[in-house]
Amino acid sequence: MQESRRNFAKKAAIITAGAVATGTTVLAATGKSSVQDDSNNGVVVGKSRKKEILYKKTAAWEEFYKNAK
C-alpha cells in the first residue's frame, strides 16, 4: 500500500515538473510577460458587454444569511 502511494507521488511530481517546464517554454516563446504596466493599476479590463451579477436574492441565500448570524 505504501509503495503504490510513493510511486504515485513520484509519477505525479515528474508529470507536474514536466508541465511547468513546458508552460515556461511556451510563455518564453510567445514573448508575453506577466508584468503589467502602470497604465491600468493592475485592473483587468475586459470586452464583455454582459452585466456582472454577484448576488441574486433567493430563498436559499436568505436562509444562509439567516443561519449565519
In a domain, 62, yes or no: no
Domain containing residue 17: 1-31
What pTM was computed for the model?
A: 0.33
> Does an H or E element contain 10, and which?
helix 2-30
In a domain, 69, yes or no: no
Compute the CA torsion angle 29, 35, 36, 38 (nearest 10 deg). Answer: -130
Determine contact, residues 23/17, Cβ cutoff 8 Å.
no
Given its phi and psi angles, is residue 46 left (phi above 0), alpha (psi -120 to 50 degrees) or beta?
beta
Per-residue cell: 34 = 506577466
* Per-residue pLDDT tens over the stretch 1-52: 677 888 888 888 899 988 887 877 766 666 655 555 667 677 777 788 888 8
In a domain, 49, yes or no: no
Per-residue cell: 31 = 514573448
In a domain, 1, yes or no: yes
Q: State how many domains the chain has.
A: 1
